[in-house]
Structures are given as structure tokens and as C-alpha cells.
Chains A and B, each alone.
Chain A
Amino acid sequence: MKRFLLTVLAALAAIAFVSCGGAKEEAAPAKTAPQQVNIYIWTSYLPQEVVDGFQQRTGIKVNVDTYDSNEAILAKLQSGVADYDLVVPSDYMMRTLILQGLLQTLDHARLPHFKNLDPRFLNQQYDPDNGHSFPYLWGTTGIGYNRQKVKEPVDSWRALFDGRYAGRILMLDDAREAFGAALRLLGKSINETDPAVLRQAAGMLKKQKALVRTYNSSDFANLLAAGDVDVAQGFNGEMAEAVANAPGRLSYVIPKEGGTLWIDNAAIPKGARNVDAVYAFLDYVLEPEVAAKIVNGVHYAGANQAALPLIDAKVRQDPSIYPPKEILDRCELIEDLGETTQLIDELWTEVKAQ
């Protein structure tokens, strides 16, 4: 019996220490390591090839950790003891992080390749003059649908409110996106703040609820691919993936009334301790060849216009990744609405609780 106990403990210790070698060196504090950069980023946002290229060229070690929500970045940076040198928050979270003083100002002089960025994505409301960040990748919100079940081509948000598709509609479980669809149908901006208009939109969403199969923000593309729903609101990245796997059966469109544009941004947290290394890394990802590798690897659109000619034609010409200019011009960023946010949350709760 005693021998058994010892065996179990020894086995557990062995598991720990066998796999320990690498973990130790990664968890070591920044001071002892020669040069490294610690990145906290969305999953599948940074191809391994890009990381390897940087390590080979500079000898700077790159540590990548991944998160599943913007709120995770907020929680980590608020702790004050996270060692990240680079985070990639979405537009609305940028505003919160800047207001809470959790980000460093961005020194454009240290980024010679900053000029490669498309001005269309610069100087946005959430970060005026790109004082704290630059756009890394961007995308849209639109509608994915099953062409075998939905006979006529979808081109309007109206499809999500169409009684013919009752019980086969999916909406994102996201107040601003849901209101965005209704507001666009009313001919308004997704950043509308007039309470009367917002109530009108809430009325539409309440009526729509009888038609909706599910509200879901994480698994919409799978549900569409599986045939659980036939018309689904969703972000373009997953939708593009689903469409690519079922060409001819699934389609993704940005409605003619205009969709949502979202931008994820590279920014340096206040407590970053490897500032030189992170600027080297940031300028590296702004190089056209590297930016093109990222877009080719992750299938989201990049904001680097110098990289465009180097991106695979298949990706560059995919309208669900790079929508035509006239459609993109009709897309809007979700902006921080200040006090109106609370009204929208209340109305959304009413819709969901009904």
C-alpha cells in the first residue's frame, strides 16, 4: 500500500517535472531573460510563421497567450501585475482601456512602417489620432444564410425579420448588434441615441423574438452549417470559414442598409516592461510582407494597404473578407454612446425577458 502511494505521488511529480523544463523558462520574470515580448491576443490572430520570422530576425523571444473576450484584457490589465507588452482590444474596449489609463501612448516615430496603414481605418472615435493604438485586423457583421432553404438571395436585414423563416433565424446575443440590425431597417445609424427611435427598434426586436430560434454569439456559424438555422446574423470571419467549407450551400452578405464594422487594435499596456522589443515587433507586423502573411494566415482583413498586392487573390477577392468599397462605406463602427448605453441595455433586457 505504501509503495502504491509513493508510486502515485512519484508519478504526479514526474508528470509535473517532465513537462516542467519549458514552462520554467517561459514563466521566468522578464528581467532575467535577455530580450522578449509578451503578447496577449485573440486566438488564431498571429500565424506561427510570423512569430518565427520575428524570432529568427531579431533573436527576441515571443510569448503568445490567447484570450476569449475583450473583458479578459480589461481584467488582466487592471490587476497591475500582468506582464503583457502587447494587447489587441476591439474598438469599444479601446475606449474603456484609454479612459482607465491602462494603455501607453503610441510613439509613431518608432514605427517607420505606420505609413502603410489605410487612412480609412485611422483616427477613429475610440482612439483619436491613434494616440494609443493602430488597427491590426478588421471585419464586418452581416447575414449568413442557407441558399438551399432560403430561395431568394438575401440582401437586407429584413430577412432576419421575415415571418417565412420563423423558427430558423439566429440573432447575435449582443445588444448593440441586435439593435443595429433593427435601427438600420428604420433607416437610422447603429449609434442612434434618440430614445423614441430606440424604443421603436426594441418594439421590432420584441415582435421578431417569436421568429428567432436562438440568440448566440459564439457558435452561430456552426449552427448555420449544421442546418439548425437557415438565416443567421454573424461576424464575417467564422461565416467566411463556414461558406468556404460549404460553397454553393451557404452565403455571407453585408446587407444593403449597411452592416457593422469592427476593428481590433494593437496597443501597449501601461505596465509593459519590454518596450523596445514591442516596438520592434509592432513595426515588424506593419511591414507589407508580414502584414500580408498575417491576413493570408488568419482570413481576416488587415488595415495595411501596402500589403494588399501581396495578399493571396483568393483572400483579397473574397467579398466576405474584403467587401467592395461601396458596401464598406455603408458600414459603421459601434461607438461608445455614454449614458444611452444603459437605456439600450434595459431595452435589450426587456426583449430577452419577454
Chain B
Amino acid sequence: MNSNWHRRLLAAHTALVYLFLYAPIAILVVFSFNAARQTAFWEGFTLDWYRRLLGNALLFRSVRNSLVVAGITTAVAVLLGTPAALALARHEFRGKRATQALLYLPVIIPEVVLGAALVTFFGAVELRLSLWTVVIAHVVFSVSYVAIVVRARLAGLDPSLEEAARDLGAGPVETFRRVTLPLAAPGIVASALLVFTLSIDDYVITSFVAGVGATTLPLHIYSMLKVGVTPEVNAVSTLLLAGTVVLIVVAHRLLSSETGDPK
């Protein structure tokens, strides 16, 4: 009886927390189908904003730019950050502490400072601002996140597993490929998703370093403030949301199907 009451309270609490987390997103999705141009009232169902989205070349291009930047940033950051995490977690070397501190710095520095510093740097080396300067800037802070997340994962692993593999005759490459990497994989995937998300909604740094043809989605949305945000933004956000959900579901499926696979 008592535990039943507890359970209900817990369920109610959980429901409230989820409501708090997801109500704004639900409203955004609902209003992307709203016939009213201004976001205040519900005036009936329409697919007009999705149709207009197809005709809005600038908005469309900004979504594409954001995906390009986030995709490349994630791939590069994972490729650079994972070895850094391995080195820091598994090896002792001179200057390790300094390396570690320098690696954490881009996460701690305020974005405004990082953005201003990067644009000054690009100016000094005469690198013209473009989509690639945005990618470079995003990689700068993303590598740190990957290194931190992957390193935390590796720190939680028992080094004796790798030792056992070596005892059983696996060379360094094979140990890495068949023991370390699979164990670190959840951390790598988590960091990739994190970095992809950070990159896709970064505004501050991007606004400093974006050049010709490099307007990303956040830049575009902010720039719409002058004339008022239209439900087209709700529509594009809903599509991105749907894409993200699909990505996560696919990742989850792959992950659970492979853990059952004794390889």
C-alpha cells in the first residue's frame, strides 16, 4: 500500500520533469503546423511552412552549412581527440600535465574570447574567412570535448584487460583494435554526438569566423530577429529534431545489436 503511494508520487514527479524538459519542444513542433504567421495564436493546421522552407534557398543553405560543419568537425575532432585521450590515459610522458591543462583550456575559455582570438589569428595569417574557418574554429573546441569524454571512459576501464590480451599474444595493434577500441567505443560515440550537437548550435564563435557563403543555421535564425522569426524556423527545427531522433535510434539499435554479437 505504502510503496504503491510512493510509486505514484515518483511517477507524477517523473512526468513533471519530462513535461518540463519536453513541453517547449512539443510546442515548437505543434506551432510549425500553425497557420498564423506570428507565433502567438493557433489559427489552424497547415503544411505551408514546410512548403515555404523548400523555397527558402538561404535557410536551406544554412541548414546544409551547419550539417557540413558539424559532420566534418565531428570526424576530425574524434580522429584527433581519441589518440590524445589514449596518450593521456595510458602513458606517462614529460609535459603531460601541461598538455592536459592546454587541452582543457578551450572548454573553459569564454566563447567570446575564443571567437575574437580566432578571428584575430585568421587576420594575422591572412586566411580569408569562409566555411573552412568555421570548421577550424569548431574543431578547436571540439577536440577538447572528445579528449575529455574519451579519457573519462578509459579511466574507468580496468588496464588488466589490455594486459591480459598482451599476455595472450596480441601485439600492440591487435590489442588496440580488439580490446581498447571496442571498450572505448561508447565514450567515442558519446563524444561524437556531443560534439556534433555543440557544433550544430554554436552561435558565438561562428558569428566571429564565418565568411562568405558560411551562414549557419544559428546565424540565420539570429539574423531573422530584425524582421521577426517566422514559423519556417519552427519547421526547420522540427525537421532537425526528427533527424536527430532518427540518428539516435539508429545508433542505439546498432549498439545493442552489436553487444549481443560475440565478436
Chain A residues within CB distance 8 Å of chain B: 1-5, 7-9, 11-17, 19-20, 22-23, 26-27, 29, 38, 42-44, 48, 63-68, 72, 75-76, 79-84, 218-219, 221-222, 225-227, 237-238, 241-242, 245
Chain A nearest Cβ from B57, distance in angstroms: 6
Judge whether A238 and B228 touch: CB under 8 Å. Answer: yes
B61 close to A22 (CB less than 8 A): yes
B213–A63 CB distance below 8 A? yes
Which among B64, B71, B130, B222 is the interface contact of A12 at CB below 8 angstroms?
A: B71
Within 8 Å by CB of B123, from A29, A79, A227, lies A79
What is the CA–CA distance of A315 and B78 in the complex, to the nearest angstrom?
53
Nearest A residue to B65 via CB reads: A23
Partner of A4, one of B185, B196, B208: B185
Q: Is the CB of A80 within 8 A of B215?
A: no
Main SS of the interface on chain A? Answer: helix
How far is A1 from B185 in the complex, measured between Cα atoms in Å? 7
CB distance from B149 to the nearest CB of A (A): 14
Asked if residues A2 and B182 are in contact (CB atoms below 8 Å), the reply is: yes
Interface readout for B85-103 with A: 1 if CB under 8 Å, 0 if not?
0000000000000000000
Q: Give the residue of B119, B207, B211, B251 whose beta carbon is less than 8 angstroms from that of A27.
A: B211
Q: Cβ of A241 and Cβ of B128 under 8 Å apart? A: no
A9 lies within 8 A of B75 (CB): yes
- CB-CB nearest in chain A for B228: A238
- Distance between Cα atoms of A142 and B72 in the complex (Å): 47
Q: List the A side residues contacting B67 at CB < 8 Å.
A: 15-16, 19
26 contacts between A and B (CB under 8 A): A1-B258, A2-B181, A4-B254, A9-B75, A12-B192, A13-B72, A15-B70, A16-B68, A16-B71, A19-B71, A20-B68, A44-B224, A66-B223, A81-B128, A82-B128, A82-B129, A83-B211, A83-B212, A225-B41, A226-B38, A237-B227, A238-B227, A238-B228, A241-B37, A241-B38, A241-B227
Partner of A65, one of B188, B215, B255: B215
Q: Name the B residues within 8 Å of A65 (CB-CB).
A: 210, 212-215
Q: Which chain A residue lies CB-closest to B251?
A: A8
Alpha-carbon separation in the docked complex, A200 to B65 (Å): 51
Return chain B residues, CB-CB under 8 Å to A219.
225, 228
